[in-house]
Structure 1
Amino acid sequence: MAIRARGTRIQWRTLVPAVLAALLAVLVQPSGVPTAAAAAPAESRPTYDYADAIRESVWVDTGIDGDGDGRNDRVAADIVRPREPAQQGRRIPVIMDASPYYSCCGRGNESQKKTYDADGRPVQFPLFYDNYFVPRGYAAVLVDLAGTNRSDGCVDVGGRSDVQSAKAVVDWLNGRARAYGSRTGGTSVSARWSTGAVGMIGKSYDGTVANGVAATGVRGLKTVVPIGAISSWYDYYFAKGAPLYDSGPDWLSDYVESPEARARCKAVQQQLVDGAPRSGDWTPLWSERDHVPDAGRVRASVFAVHGMQDLNVRTRHVGRWWDALADAGVERKIWLSQTGHVDPFDFRRAEWVKTLHRWFDHYLLGHDNGIDREPMADIERAPGRWSTDRVWPADGTRATTLRPRTGAQPGVGRLGLLPARPGAAETFTDDPKLSETDWAAAAGTPSPAKAAFLTPVLRKDLRLSGSGSVTVTATPSTAGAHLSAVLVDLGPATIRDYGDAGEGITTLPERTCWGSSTGGDSACFKETEPRTAAVGHTVFSRGWADLGNYASEHTGRPLTPGKKYTITLDLHASDHVVPAGHRLALLVAGTDAGLIEPPASTPRLTLDLPRTSARLPLVGGAGAFVRATAGSPPRAAAPTDLPRTAVGDPRAARVPSGTGR
């Protein structure tokens, strides 16, 4: 199914006489985009003078008092908009990026920050959105989240304050909120220049805020473009009870807050500590910061971009969000790259700018340019080589159960459609010094730290598209245990080196320009090229859990040594082709070093193989697996449909896009 089915848009010119069509063509909604009859051009053009653009700041009343000072918080919204439409009495749409990083850390590959002149007017806007889109008839609005840069309030890391910081600006642009010319006092300022049509964009934390605002169902937000964004803050810090970092949201709040906010927001900081215990148990704090259950409220279209090797904001975030949006019938599009936590401007620049331009033209200006009828998914197959799919996950994807069995060597078993014999088992001991890359490098070799299960050498390509899961029945030797499951493509390939500091790109000294410049805001940015690595294996999906969460995703409990427990690990969304001549491997181990915090003990775990299985999103289902492995299917191997949608060095420091890209 395409983003919007062909034929659903009314073609007014075929329904009304030419005279009526001409009349309708001049009608424009006063607070929205042109009507379908407006005969908008196929593409907005750079017709306005960027150097003469209006640059201003307003402070929007959020309606909440997060810092407890007795008055509503005001967030700073810096604006660049073309002067000519205002002079002509015409309104324009808005491209908005709400971020906590504009003063502490910077945005983009060059860590750009906002700058201001002596009178406090904005001079430099990070990234290219203002340079490129303002001359084309858009306003660029960059919002400082509460507690950051020039805004009041406190950072609450994905909570009500963060989301309301941006939602209030959308409301103001639609005449539903108040703004002022200064942070304290000042005269009321209206946004009569705005059509009310808003598109939010942003990478990482910024994109997470866009997801959160969309999940409120706010009117006027026409589209969101989340890049490497979080959909549930619990999933950022934990994986089914397993702690993924040595800190919680209080550390991140302290990292991005302005010095003034840090002094006045100690109570909010303590709430973040108390509400996010390192036990991994679910609390009301996490419910407030989980946007997935509210996907049914989303009115905006969604263009999601994510790196399939992003070990910071992992693809579980885009996978769960995508599934929920699909269930809600939201118009959507997706790009999946081979990079880590990288902006598409830095891995596919020309195509990204062209596609984003057409996307905003369609959803904010009402141009019928066909982007809503084009393939839903672009997927990077090799560095710089892309394929498209009409829908995602790919047509014909089926959830197929593969089962581990023992092999000729202990710890190196087989993976296929047939179940293991009764009583079959494999044993490993958690070694918290080893990571998924260590396990994968020794996939075909007996090792005390992992259990590996391999398919035969494939005779045909085997594609996995979407999200899967691994159900494990294990007997621990201690009262606590971590589990990891990873999927590995065993065979040579050239991939983007996502473990490098650039996470798959190399920054070059040469610059290319994307829009208009001024002396204080250049439209020219450093070029990049893929940073590649020749490898003998590729980890392409992973999942983690604390075995103590066997009875509940949300609450852990001590284990009884020697007792069997069953738990399902959610594998992160991916789209990967295991080529003919390679093998697919499932690895089960303990702590994934650099990603999961070390446990209090290092248990020995025994896997009950007949009660362990992997449910994987195979394109073509069990039949495709049989053809790829040249085997014969068991009678019970009938595939079932997947839900409509689903899917280096891991020790690198992880922040949701603090400095750098």
Structure 2
Amino acid sequence: MPIPARRMRFTTWRSLATAATAALMATFLTPAAAGAAPRESTPVYSYEHAIREAVWVDTGLDGDSDGKKDRVAVDIVRPREPAQQGRKIPVIMDASPYYSCCGRGNESQLKTYDANGNVVQMPLFYDNYFVPRGYAFVGVDLAGTNRSDGCVDVGGRSDIQSAKAVVDWLNGRAKAYTSRTGSATAKASWTNGRTGMIGKSWDGTIANGVAATGVEGLKTIVPISGISSWYDYYFAKGAPLYDSGPDWLSNYVDSPDAQAKCAAVQQKIVDGAPRTGDWTRFWTERDYVKDAGKVKASVFAVHGMQDLNVRTKHLGQWWNALAKNGVERKIWLSQTGHVDPFDYRRGAWVDTLHRWFDHELLGYDNGIDKAPMADIERHPDQWVTSRVWPPSSTDTVKLRPGQGTRAGVGTLGLTTGSGTETFTDDPQLSETDWAAHIDQPTPDKAGFTTGPLAHDLRLSGSSKVTVTATPTTATAHLSAVLVDLGPDTIRDYNAAGEGITTLTDRTCWGPSTTGDSSCFKVTKANTTAVDYTVFSRGWADLGNYASDWKGVPLTPGKPYTITLDLAASDHVVPKGHRLALIVAGTDKDLIDPPSTKPTLTLDLSRTSARVPLVGGSKAFEKATDGATAAPSTTVLDGVGEPRTVHRVPGDRL
């Protein structure tokens, strides 16, 4: 539980030496002596007197081409007492490019250092909370950032090796030095090598990438809003999602040293990531999904279902690949955008993370592996659980759009539609404009809806929309979105806080020092009343109809078929609401427009949405009052019933 800042008593941590001795007797005695194995690590070690040190780990690479192997800076905070007692401890690690340029967390904290170059402020609460509980916390500067050598290569070999080399060092397989340029070596004799990686955004991405190497010693990762394939961060089947590429991102986080040395690497990034949206070797190197079969670590994935920065396609394809390979996993899905769970469900998050690390890194049998796999935010601050995710009764159901009584306002059901619908790309309009006018025949979209539902309908997982479209120009972009039509109160993910409001009061999560406070500003849900909710979306360049890897010019007047991958979600369309599918052109602010403004004609007989419904087609029939016959269904792509593989307790020590 948090400690309100105004009531915090540092005397809670009084008489640390005496208390530590007594607590250690109870906590670390063998089961035979103590009567039972420990179930929770407790704050028995001094944070004030923790060892703070820095080492530089040899990555084995020379990314900046200066003739010397790159060394990455590793800042360490660890309890002093275990080493004095001859005990080795596990590691929680956050490898990041943001420690000096941009900051971490809701308050954009940076690393600060004392006169000896040892870390004073380690961003976020991990060190304050976990070091007193017997963990070391390690903050790694990715190559080319802060105090590290080398160059940022945006998810490539250098980025991943920056962190993997540290895991290797922690397990005695790599060299480290006590300074950036010196020859004095440093040994990680204080750790048992058991490492858990955590981090949000780029940091979580690095955790995914390192896990995909299969490195020994990495026991678990907690990726928060992490990328699983960098191509999908910048493109959706050829459609550009941003007006800049990874070269801009590299420049954004580069240290001054890297900016002076890394021009050649920058050019390789530019050359390897063309704005055409074609797949190159650059993207293959940065695709972690293809290597999911190498993952040995357990995965606790966290993502905002309305994250429009790292969209949930990253989560869906990574989760499915892990499921296929039987990886032990857990998931949290919130209504927020790109937000850390510490800032939308703080108490429950710290407690759950504590139990997860205790189980995965200390081997404590605390039951978290038997708890429900998924926590899902159904309404602001209202959470439900699922035993597995997606639920085992989830099937993909093919929904068909059909013509309605008015042009541009169609139906959505189980029977094959016929006829055509036509729309013209308008880059000034977005998915919310389309949804707001779903019942009006506007020229910029084709919309299809069910009638009001007789029962709740739950979609859980990733959807696909296949369209056959005839363009009037040689270029065309497509968008497909799923919409819940009905009033609701949701987190305002489009606002500045992406679903949260930051307040002035603080709560504290462990002891503090003069230079490193454990107290962070409280947040609350920022909500808004809506008449509709867009809950899943996907995009494509129609020129990629024949290949996910390469686009070609279109022949005006010729029909093309392409499948759009929609982002993973878990959403309940309530009784009385309607489910809608919208197909349109440019989704303003989410994809870039093509060079022309095409008119596209949809062939409805060759257009469909494959959606993951809990209960399958029978659930859809029931929700729509059985208005149409049910076709056969197929198991959800890549998942089926998600498998959980539990290791025996003895394998965790």
- TM-score range relative to shorter protein: over 0.9
Taking the aligned partners of 1:128 and 1:202, their CA distance within structure 2 comes to: 12
2:278, 2:549 within 8 Å by CA — same for their partners in 1?
yes
- Match status 1:527 vs 2:522: yes
Task: Give me the whole-angstrom Cα distance separating, in 2, the residues matched to 1:298 and 1:419.
Answer: 41
1:591 aligned residue: 586
- The share of aligned pairs that are identical, in percent, is 73
2:242 alignment partner, one of 245, 264, 269: 245
Taking structure 1 as the reference length, the TM-score comes to 0.91
Q: Report if the CA contact (8 A) 1:323-1:644 is conserved.
A: yes
Deviating 4+ runs (over 6 angstroms): none
What residue is the counterpart of 1:83 in the other structure? Answer: 80
The 2-side partners of 1:44 and 1:622 are apart by: 47
Which residue in the other structure is 1:654 paired with? none
Q: Which amino acid in 2 is paired with 1:69?
A: D
Counterpart in the other structure of 1:327: 324
Distance (whole Å) between structure 2 residues aligned to residue 311 and residue 645 of structure 1: 24
> Per the alignment, in what secondary structure is the counterpart of residue 570 of structure 2?
strand
Structure 1 residue 642: deviation in Å?
1.2
2:458 is aligned to: 463
Instruction: Map 1:344-359; keep pairs closer than 5 Å.
Output: 344-359=341-356
| 1:104/1:382 CA distance change after superposition, 3 Å | same
The match for 1:638 is: 632
Match of 1:66 among 51, 63, 67: 63
**Residue in 2 that maps onto 1:508:** 503
Shift of residue 631, structure 1, vs aligned partner: 2.5
**Superposition deviation, residue 640 in structure 1:** 1.9
**Given that residues 392 and 640 in structure 2 are in contact (C-alpha distance below 8 angstroms), is that contact kept between their aligned partners in structure 1?**
no
* Aligned with 1:372 (options 369, 372, 375): 369
Matched, 1:565 2:560: yes
Alignment partners' CA distance in 2, 1:39 and 1:370: 15
Tell me if the contact between 2:457 and 2:572 (Cα under 8 Å) persists in the aligned partners. Answer: yes
What is the match of residue 281 of structure 1?
278
- What's the CA shift string for 1:571-595, capped at 9, x where partnerless? 1100000000100000000011101
Q: Residues 148-297 of structure 1: matches in 2 within 5 Å?
A: 148-297=145-294
2:539 corresponds to: 544
Q: Measure, in 2, the Cα distance between the counterparts of 1:498 and 1:122.
A: 35
Amino acid at match of 2:632: A
In structure 1, the residue matched to 2:436 is: 441
Structure 2-normalised TM-score?
0.93
Match of 1:300 among 272, 297, 302: 297
Q: Which residue of 2 aligns with 1:601?
A: 596
Report the alpha carbon displacement of residue 643 of structure 1 after superposing the two structures with TM. Answer: 3.2
Separation in structure 2 between the aligned mates of residue 295 and residue 41 of structure 1, nearest angstrom: 33
Shift of 1:450: 0.2
Which residue number in structure 2 is paired with residue 478 of structure 1?
A: 473
Confirm or deny: 8 A CA contact 2:413 2:628 kept in the other structure: no
Question: Partners in 2 of 1:599 and 1:516 — Cα distance?
Answer: 54
Following superposition, the deviation at residue 88 of structure 1 comes to 0.8
| Contact kept? 2:543, 2:551, Cα under 8 Å | yes
Cα distance in 1 between the residues matched to 2:463 and 2:620:
15
Distance 1:549 1:106 in 2: 38
Contact 2:380-2:527 within 8 A present in 1 as well: yes
Work out the CA distance in 1 between the residues paired with 2:35 and 2:59.
Answer: 35
2-side partners of 1:66 and 1:383: how far apart? 45
* Inter-CA distance 38–85: structure 2 relative to 1 (3 Å threshold): farther
Paired position in structure 2 for 1:93: 90
2:128 aligned counterpart, secondary structure: helix
What secondary structure, in the 3-state scheme, does the structure 1 residue paired with 2:270 have? helix
Residues in 2 aligned to 1:179 and 1:69: alpha-carbon distance in whole angstroms = 19
Residues 306-337 of structure 1 show CA distances to partners (whole Å, capped at 9, x for unaligned) of 00000000000000000000000000000000
How far apart, in 2, do the equivalents of 1:40 and 1:482 lie?
59
Q: How does 1:396-411 map to 2 (within 5 A)?
A: 396-411=393-408
Query: Cα deviation per residue 1:487-510 (whole Å; 9 max; x = unaligned)?
Result: 000000000000000000000100
Q: Distance in 1 between matches of 2:638 and 2:43?
A: 39
* Counterpart residue number, 2:12: none
> CA–CA distance in 2 between the matches of 1:617 and 1:193?
48
Aligned partner (choices 442, 447, 453) of residue 448 of structure 2: 453
The letter for the 2-side match of 1:460 is H
Q: Helix, strand or coil for the counterpart of 2:219?
A: strand
What is the rounded CA distance, in whole Å, between the counterparts of 1:646 and 1:267 in structure 2? Answer: 46
Alignment partners' CA distance in 1, 2:588 and 2:640 = 26
Deviations 1:217-238 (A, max 9, x none): 0000000000000000000000
In structure 2, the CA distance between the partners of 1:63 and 1:642, relative to structure 1 (3 Å rule), is same
Matched, 1:624 2:619: yes
RMSD over equivalenced CA pairs, Å: 1.5
Once the two structures are TM-superposed, the CA of residue 512 in structure 1 deviates from its matched residue by: 0.2
Write the deviation string for residues 360-405 of structure 1: whole angstroms up to 9, x where unpaired.
0001001011111111000000000000001001131110000000
1:589-628: CA deviations, max 9, x gaps? 0011101112100000000000000000011111111111
> How big is the shift at 1:632?
3.7
Q: 2 CA distance for matches of 1:359 and 1:256?
A: 31
Q: Residue in 1 aligned with 2:3?
A: none
- Aligned-partner residue type, residue 599 of structure 2: R
- Secondary structure of the residue aligned to 1:359 is helix
* Cα drift, residue 243 of structure 1: 0.4
Tell me if structure 1 keeps the 8 A contact 2:394–2:640: no
8 Å CA contact 1:323–1:646 kept in 2: the answer is no
Corresponding residue SS for 2:106: coil
Report the counterpart of residue 314 of structure 2 in structure 1: 317
Shift of 1:259: 1.2
What do the CA deviations read for 1:194-249 (whole angstroms, capped 9, x no partner)?
01000000000000000000000000000000000000000000000000001110
> Is 1:60–1:74's contact at 8 Å kept on the other side of the alignment?
yes
Structure 2 residue aligned with 1:140: 137
| 2:573 equivalent in structure 1 | 578
d(CA) in 2 for partners of 1:196, 1:427: 60
Contact 1:112 1:127 in 2 (8 A): yes
Judge conservation of contact 1:243–1:597 (CA < 8 Å) in 2: yes
CA distance in structure 1 between the partners assigned to 2:232 and 2:177 by the alignment: 37
Q: Structure 2 CA distance, aligned partners of 1:525 and 1:81? A: 21
User: Mind listing any 5+ residue stretches in structure 2 that lack a counterpart?
Assistant: 1-27, 642-653
The alpha-carbon deviation at position 644 of structure 1 amounts to 5.2
Q: What CA distance in whole angstroms lies between the structure 2 residues aligned with 1:616 and 1:84? A: 54
Answer yes or no: is the 8 Å Cα contact 2:492–2:527 preserved in 1: yes
User: Is the CA contact (8 Å cut-off) linking 1:393 and 1:644 kept in structure 2?
Assistant: no
How far did residue 633 of structure 1 move?
3.5
CA contact (8 A) 1:322 1:646 kept: no
Shift of 1:448: 0.3
Distance in 2 separating the partners of 1:123 and 1:480: 54
Q: Does the Cα contact within 8 Å between 1:466 and 1:646 map onto a contact in 2?
A: no
Show the 5 A alignment for 1:483-502.
483-502=478-497
Q: Which runs of 5+ in 1 are unaligned?
A: 1-24, 28-33, 648-661
SS in 2 for 1:195: strand
The question of whether the paired residues in 2 share the 8 Å contact of 1:358 and 1:371 is answered with yes
State the shift of 1:193 in Å.
Answer: 0.0
Q: Is the 8 A contact 2:75 2:140 kept in 1?
A: yes
Contact 2:321 2:638 in 1 (8 A): no
d(CA) in 2 for partners of 1:639, 1:299: 33
Amino acid at match of 2:73: A
Secondary structure at 2:123 match in 1: coil
CA contact 1:622–1:633 (8 Å) conserved in 2: no
